[in-house]
Structure formats: structure tokens, C-alpha cells
């Protein structure tokens, strides 16, 4: 998808002349006279309706890169690992569908008479938090981008917004979030309009927005860990000292719950992408530890009883040397070289045989549960959860900060770890039920307690940090961008890990390297903001580790 380099309110005027374009975008009368809260709904909703993003960025790229997914037919050493064709949908979405209405909210508030504007102080902050999260998400794998001067053309006539370097942008976002928290914690002299049901996330609940902003600050702080650990500590301690603090329970999580049939068809993970599995080592770990989340994430294997196994083997679909393993759920090898091993070919194609007079066409590895990502699958009637920051996320972030000595949090890292695991399992159980997953067995009353005693799960001081990061990876199945960032930021899960090692990926014996960023696209010569865009990209190209422009294994500023 080609980026636009104008980055102003609505990018739909490409056929206009420059003078007409400027006139339309700087005319104050072009700003609709609507209640500010109505525009909030538009901007928030655009964060969750992007089925092209789901299809390209998540399903084609980030999930395979992070080994959250493996094609049932196995990975190849080409394709997703060497290009991102049609990827980076988030860039265009931010500048065309998210930023404009959210900035409009704040502008509309500013245009109100003073007495009326005073009723919207909290809504202005809520909108700012929403915009900050979207900007952070957009910048995360892109680096520099217009923000502080973006979307101004309509109001100020600025058609050449500067590009904010990622370091400066993260500082700006953190400062704004801190300011918004201060505003929301301050008593106002008049009753506040906080959006009500026009706020599709928290229905105008101010306390939940404070927790959300503080939690986002923790996420930003951890992104700074490689470049400025002292800044990480400063932000974390500031958040923990806040009188409300970050998200501290499941009821206050930043999670959007869809309605029925909300998602477009490209959200269907088994649609154009074909059958997908989870990586073998991860599923082996989940099997070994009795992880209850496995029921929410996977469908039972098509070979799930010894009788079926024996029938398939007798008909030559499974090699004679393979023995029944007694498993209901199985993962798939992620390394492209594993798919080339002749004796393992049965793992990578559909098995066709007769069982009790019926024709069977099944996979040996388990296929993912599509409903938890796309509830309308096969005419399903459930709804989906789209998490941004959960209570489990916050528990794991706080535990990591303590274990790294990057905060003065006086909580026990073990208690935070246990709470994070419990919250994660509880969330996935709830999300699987909301999605009306067929034949799903709900969480049992003692399953979490039992899971926390298992080898590799039971907290051990010697492996605590790896355990926290591995559990956060499992928790981030529904939030692949953060799983990607976790691996980039920490190196875990790691092929050399002691707890839940991912596979070492090779193709033809050579390493397959995980991409780490998107590709910047230089503007055309006629682009109004050509100079600022080219200057920013050229500056990034000089950063150590960034690599050539088209090197998606290069690193943006925070990742170096």
C-alpha cells in the first residue's frame, strides 16, 4: 500500500489542483458543526475495522514472523520473510481514518464558546489518549512520522508538516499522556461531557481512561529500554506513583468488544490465508503444562484418537514408524527446512482416508480456532475481543521492570507474574466463550491453580525473567504487534531459551531472519511535503542498524 506524504485531514483530494486543495483544506467552514463526541466514535471505530490490516499485516506477515502462526503446509524461506507487499496498512489508516476525526474533536471543542468548552475538558483528554495510542502504534515499526504538525492544514494552512523523529515522538506522546492523566484527575468546575456511549471503549468512564493512559505510558517506557533505561525507570516510577495508577483488574482492561458480524471478511483467518497452526515447540509446552488456553486457541487435531490414527496409518497416510502420541492438540514445525524432510511429509499436507465408512480429510497438526479471531466464521453468532492493553499485560510489564531493576515497584514480581498468568487464562476463556467457539470446554475452577504448579510455569527466581516474557508472548496471541515488539525488545521467546524455546528457522541450511520494521517509501517529486519526508527518511538511513531502505530486518530507533 502506497503511503501518502500529505498527512492532513482527509486524503481524498488527489485530483484537485494545489490551489483548490489548499483552499478546501484551510477553509474553516469545511469543519462540520457537529457535537465533538460524535467524531470521537468515528476515530475510535477506525482502530478496529481494518480487515485489510488483519489480512496483510497480521495474517500474512507478523503472525508468521513471530511464530504465532505456521501455515499447515509449512513455511517457506521466501514470501513473508523477505517482503511486505501490501503491508503497513496502519500508516494510511492513521492518516486517513483515525487522526482526522480525533483531531477534529479537539478542534471542535476549541471552537466552542468558553462556557460550553469547559464541559468538554475531559473529553478532550480522552480523545488525546486515543490519538496517542494510535500514533504510538503507527510509529512503532515505522520510525519517524508526522505528528505534532500533522492534520493542521485544515485549520492553519500548514501543508508541509515536519516529521517527528521516533525518539522525539515517544517523548511527546509520554508527555501528553501524563498531561491528560493530570487533567482527568483534576476536579472541574462544571459537569463534564465524557462521551457516554459515543466512547466505544469505556463509555466515558474517566477512571478507566486514566488507567489506560498510565498503562500505555508503561508500554512506551519499555520501548525505551535499549536506548534510555533511566528514562524507562523515570516513566515507570511516575506511573506507579500516580494516585490511580495503571490497569489493576480485568474489568478495566483496554479491550474493544465487537458486535455480532462486526468484522469484515478479511478478518477470517482461515479464508484466503488457508489453514494455520501454532508453532510446535509452543504447543508442546502448552501440552506439557496443561495450559487451559490451548482450548481457546486451537481446534483438536483431525487425528485425535488412536482409532483414527490407526486407520490413517493402515491406509498409508501416516508412516509405519510413527507411534500414537495420545495428544488432542499438536503444533506445526515453523522452520522451512523441516517441511523438506521426507519422513515428515504427513505433517504438511491434508491426510485423506476412510474411517468407519466416512471419507476423512484432516490435518495431523491442530488448526487454529478461527472463532476467537473471527466470530462470524461459518455463520457463527458470537462476538470478538480486540485487546489493546489488558490487566495481564500490565502485570507482566510491572514484573519485568522489577526483575530488570528498572522500577521501584514494591510489589512482588512473583505475585505479579501469578496474577498475570491467571488474568491471561481468564481472559482467553472469556473471549472463547464470547466468540461462541463450538464444543469449547469452559475453564475449570482448579485449572489455573494447577497450571501455576507445573514445571516451567511455577515461578523460579533463576528463570523468572524468561518465564515472565514467555507468558507475555502467550498472552499476546490476540495482539500480534506487541508479540512482535516483545521479541524485538527482549529476544524472548528465544531459540536458546530454557523454558519455551522457539524454533531456529533455516531454509537450505541458512538462517531465516525475522523482519523488524516496515519499508519507508520516498514521496514523488511533486509531493507538497517532499523535502520534509526525504530529509527524515535520509536521517533514519544514517542510523546504525537501520540498514538499507528496503531491508525489513533493519531496526528503527527504539529497537537498536
Q: What parts of the chain have a pLDDT lower than 50?
A: 1-31
Question: What CA–CA distances, in Å, run from 535 to 144, 163, 351, 352?
Answer: 10, 9, 55, 58
Cβ distance 450 to 521 under 8 Å? Answer: no
Provide the pLDDT for residue 30.
46
**In this structure, what C-alpha cell is assigned to residue 127?**
480523545
Q: For strand 358-362 and strand 351-355, is the pairing parallel, antiparallel, or unpaired?
A: antiparallel
Cβ distance 431 to 380 under 8 Å? Answer: no
> Domains (ranges, CATH) in the chain?
36-272+373-559 (1.25.40.390), 276-369 (no CATH)
Provide the pLDDT for residue 6.
37
Burial class of residue 397, CB neighbours in 10 A (0-12, 13-18, 19+): buried
Residue-wise burial string across 536-549, b where 16 or more C-beta atoms lie within 10 A, e elsewhere: bbeebeebeebbee
Q: Which long-range contacts (CB under 8 A, 24 or more apart) does 511-515 make?
A: 512/75, 512/77, 512/81, 512/335, 512/336, 513/81, 513/553, 514/65, 514/66, 514/81, 514/487, 514/553, 515/61, 515/65, 515/81, 515/84, 515/552, 515/553
Q: Which long-range contacts (CB under 8 A, 24 or more apart) does 379-383 make?
A: 380/435, 380/436, 380/438, 381/260, 381/436, 382/260, 382/434, 382/435, 382/436, 382/437, 383/257, 383/258, 383/259, 383/260, 383/262, 383/434, 383/435
10 Å Cβ neighbour count for 464?
17
**Which runs of E-coded beta strand occur in 21-119?**
70-71
Q: At what angle do helices 206-223 and 480-490 cross, to 10 degrees?
A: 40
Q: For strand 70-71 and strand 163-164, is the pairing parallel, antiparallel, or unpaired?
A: unpaired
Provide the pLDDT for residue 33.
72
Provide the pLDDT for residue 3.
36
Report the C-alpha gap between 448 and 441 in whole angstroms: 14
Report the C-alpha gap between 190 and 223 in whole angstroms: 38
Provide the pLDDT for residue 32.
52
Share of the chain above pLDDT 70, in %: 94
Provide the pLDDT for residue 22.
39
Report the C-alpha gap between 219 and 397 in whole angstroms: 8
Amino acid at each position: 500500500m502506497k503511503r501518502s506524504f500529505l498527512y492532513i485531514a482527509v486524503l481524498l483530494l488527489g485530483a484537485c489542483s494545489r490551489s483548490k486543495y489548499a483552499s478546501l483544506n484551510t477553509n474553516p467552514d469545511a469543519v462540520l458543526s457537529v457535537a465533538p463526541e460524535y467524531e470521537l466514535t468515528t476515530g475510535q471505530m477506525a482502530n478496529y475495522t481494518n480487515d485489510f490490516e488483519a489480512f496483510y499485516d497480521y495474517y500474512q506477515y507478523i503472525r508468521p514472523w513471530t511464530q504465532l502462526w505456521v501455515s499447515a503446509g509449512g513455511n517457506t524461506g521466501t514470501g513473508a520473510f523477505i517482503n511486505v507487499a501490501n503491508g503497513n496498512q496502519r500508516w494510511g489508516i492513521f492518516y486517513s481514518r483515525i487522526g482526522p476525526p480525533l483531531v477534529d474533536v479537539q478542534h471542535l471543542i476549541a471552537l466552542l464558546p468558553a462556557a460550553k468548552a469547559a464541559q468538554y475538558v475531559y473529553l478532550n483528554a480522552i480523545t488525546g489518549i486515543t490519538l496517542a495510542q494510535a500514533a504510538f502504534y503507527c510509529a512503532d515499526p515505522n520510525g519517524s512520522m508526522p505528528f505534532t504538525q500533522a492534520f493542521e492544514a485544515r485549520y492553519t494552512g500548514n501543508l508541509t508538516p515536519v516529521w517527528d523523529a521516533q525518539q522525539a515522538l515517544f517523548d511527546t506522546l509520554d508527555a501528553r499522556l501524563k498531561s491528560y492523566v493530570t487533567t482527568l484527575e483534576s476536579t472541574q468546575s462544571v459537569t463534564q461531557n465524557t462521551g457516554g456511549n459515543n466512547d466505544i471503549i469505556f463509555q466515558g468512564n474517566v477512571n478507566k481512561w486514566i488507567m489506560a493512559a498510565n498503562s500505555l505510558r508503561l508500554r512506551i517506557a519499555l520501548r525505551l529500554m535499549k536506548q534510555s533505561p533511566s528514562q524507562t525507570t523515570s516513566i515507570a516510577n511516575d506511573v506507579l506513583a500516580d494516585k490511580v495508577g495503571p490497569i489493576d483488574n480485568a474489568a478495566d482492561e483496554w479491550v474493544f468488544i465487537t458486535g455480532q458480524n462486526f468484522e469484515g471478511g478479511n478478518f477470517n483467518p482461515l479464508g484466503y490465508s488457508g489453514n494455520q497452526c501454532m508453532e510446535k515447540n509452543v504447543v508442546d509446552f502448552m501440552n506439557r503444562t496443561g495450559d487451559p488456553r490451548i482450548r481457546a486457541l486451537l481446534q483438536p487435531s483431525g487425528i485425535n484418537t488412536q482409532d483414527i490414527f490407526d486407520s490413517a496409518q493402515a491406509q498409508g497416510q501416516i508412516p509405519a514408524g510413527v507411534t500414537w502420541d495420545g495428544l488432542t492438540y499438536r503444533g506445526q514445525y515453523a522452520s522451512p527446512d523441516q517441511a523438506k524432510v521426507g519422513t515428515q511429509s504427513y505433517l504438511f499436507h491434508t491426510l485423506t482416508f476412510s474411517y468407519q465408512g466416512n471419507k476423512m480429510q484432516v490435518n495431523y497438526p491442530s488448526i487454529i480456532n478461527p472463532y476467537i479471531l473471527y466470530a462470524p466464521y461459518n455463520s457463527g453468532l458470537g462476538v470478538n475481543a480486540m485487546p489493546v492493553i489488558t490487566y495481564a499485560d500490565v502485570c507482566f510489564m510491572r514484573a519485568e521492570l522489577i526483575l530488570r531493576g528498572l522500577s521501584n515497584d514494591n510489589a512482588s514480581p512473583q505475585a505479579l507474574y501469578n496474577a498475570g498468568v491467571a488474568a491471561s487464562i481468564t481472559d482467553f476463556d472469556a473471549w472463547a466463550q464470547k466468540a461462541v467457539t463450538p464444543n469449547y470446554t469452559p475453564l475449570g475452577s482448579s485449572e489455573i491453580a494447577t497450571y501455576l504448579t507445573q514445571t516451567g510455569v511455577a515461578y523460579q527466581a533463576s528463570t523468572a525473567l524468561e518465564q515472565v516474557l514467555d507468558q507475555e508472548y502467550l498472552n499476546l496471541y490476540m495482539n500480534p504487534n506487541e508479540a512482535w515488539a516483545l521479541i524485538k525488545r527482549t529476544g524472548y521467546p528465544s531459540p536458546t531459551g530454557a523454558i519455551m524455546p522457539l524454533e531456529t528457522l533455516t531454509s537450505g541450511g541458512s538462517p531465516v531472519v525475522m523482519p523488524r520494521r516496515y519499508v519507508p517509501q520516498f514521496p514523488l517529486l511533486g509531493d507538497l511535503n517532499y523535502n520534509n519526508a526525504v530529509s527524515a527518511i535520509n536521517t533514519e538511513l544514517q542510523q546504525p542498524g537501520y540498514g538499507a531502505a528496503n531491508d525489513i530486518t533493519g531496526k528503527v530507533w527504539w529497537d537498536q
